[in-house]
Amino acid sequence: MSAILFATLSFAQGKVGSPYSRYGIGDVNTNAQARNSSMGGVGYATPFMYDVNYKSPASIGEIDTLTFIFNFGFDAGFRQYSISNPSTKKIKTDAELSQIAVGFACAKWWKMALGITPYSNVGYSIYSPDNSYGIDKNYVYAGDGGLNKVFFSNAFNPIPDLSLGVGVSYLFGKIYHSNAIVFADDSVGTYVNSFCQRTFKISDVTFDVGAKYNIHIGDDNLRLGAYYAYNRDLNAKQYALVYNTLASAATTVIDTISQDTVKGNIGLPHTIGFGACYTYNSKLSIAADFTLQNWKDSKFFGECDSLNNSIGFALGGEYTPNRQSPKNLWQSSSYRMGLYYNNSYINMNAKKLSVPDYGITFGIGFKPRHAKTVFNVTLQYGQRGSLKNELVKENYFIVGVNFSLVDHWFEKSRID
């Protein structure tokens, strides 16, 4: 319980974010832990590898009956934002705890996992200077916060090689948005700054299901996976505050125009995903995922927020030279690479301008034969947006580190 509490506090700190997190509920996590991330984000059909794969509840069905897994991970990012008019670049860094999860078997036919991970992030600050009528002022748009997800997944094996999963998740958190007109400081108090602050408090549950089937082809395996998330409208409260301050004393509130609380809903999309993974000779795995989300119909307290349906593709591979090598760490380690492309849900400038997000990933997983710890490192380089059509281009480099502690339950000790 203390670990989950620590995770909640750490996740709540958020990260630097992106100007694109202004839309919807912000940047949405892809639900990919370190191993999946290093393979481009695939995960609907990938084989078990000493981790808790929470991209689909069916994915935990391959956890060994006697195995208990504890996952812990964090990410750090380096981001560069660029605009063309005027030509400007800005660099920011961020870091966050990415997951805490446990997975284990309740019975031979029943596997379970639970944990906490960030679900979305909001973090932006935009200044637009203006001197119309000879008056210097800034239009300021800022946001912060995000949602966290506590997930509880179950996978059942009614027949060999088939895994059926069902999960329930609790989403909670706060998202802050503010708009302001801030005038240049004047000593005589001629101008009045105006602020509008909105806080959205979100707390509700969502459901998802998945299926995974393993087809044996000689010494090889073909795994097929399917996923569906029923993300209904989330219950939320909106707290709005509008007030004015003097430009000569910006911290002094001279009047509060309105302050109210409204109950409403924030829409999440239904998600459909399919995946396939072919494993050759227990050494090489090649996987591909496809994901579709219908964001276009999602509403934010009854209003659409410039959203499109999103489509995502991911392709990844993993190679392990000799998983049973007793002494050579490099032979028993797993080497990973992946590509991804997401046509995001953001619709810019009311012109149906989508904001593509694409990149390449690399990773390595260290698993000494007799060790109880798996150490995964992920490197991700990507780009979102472009300099065309007055958009913001975001280049990012993310390093992820994940630890999986693997132990066995109910094993009898041997005495030689």
Tell me which residue has tokens 């996952």.
71
Give the pLDDT mean for 53-72: 90
Residue 414: inside a domain: no
Whether pLDDT at 167 is above 90: yes
Top-ranked range on mean pLDDT: pick from 3-7, 60-64, 92-96, 387-391: 60-64
Q: What pLDDT is attached to residue 248? A: 64
Query: Is position 413 within any domain?
Result: no
State yes or no: pLDDT of 330 exceeds 70.
yes
Indicate whether 34 belongs to any domain: yes
**CATH number for the domain including 109?**
2.40.160.60
Which domain covers residue 361, as residue numbers?
2-407
Residue 414 pLDDT level (bands cut at 50, 70, 90): low
Q: What is the pLDDT of residue 9?
A: 32
Band (186; pLDDT cuts 50, 70, 90): low
The reported pLDDT for the residue numbered 352 is 62
Half-sphere exposure of 393 (CA within 13 A, CB side): 13
Flag whether 416 is in a domain.
no
pLDDT band at 10 (very low <50, low <70, confident <90, very high): very low
Residue 415 lies in a domain: no
134 in any annotated domain: yes
User: Does a cis peptide bond (omega within 30 degrees of 0) precede residue 368?
Assistant: no
The total number of structural domains that make up the chain: 1
- Distance CA(101)–CA(114), nearest Å, equals 6
Whole-number Å distance between alpha carbons of 234 and 248: 42
Q: Is residue 300 part of a domain?
A: yes
pLDDT at 153: 96
Low-confidence winner among 45-49, 116-120, 242-246 (lowest mean pLDDT): 242-246
Name the least confident of 11-25, 182-196, 257-271: 11-25
Distance CA 359, CA 338 (A): 9
- Average pLDDT across the chain, whole number: 84
pLDDT digits (tens, 9 = 90+) for 252-310: 666 777 677 889 888 888 899 999 999 999 899 999 999 999 887 777 887 776 677 88
Q: Is residue 412 part of a domain?
A: no
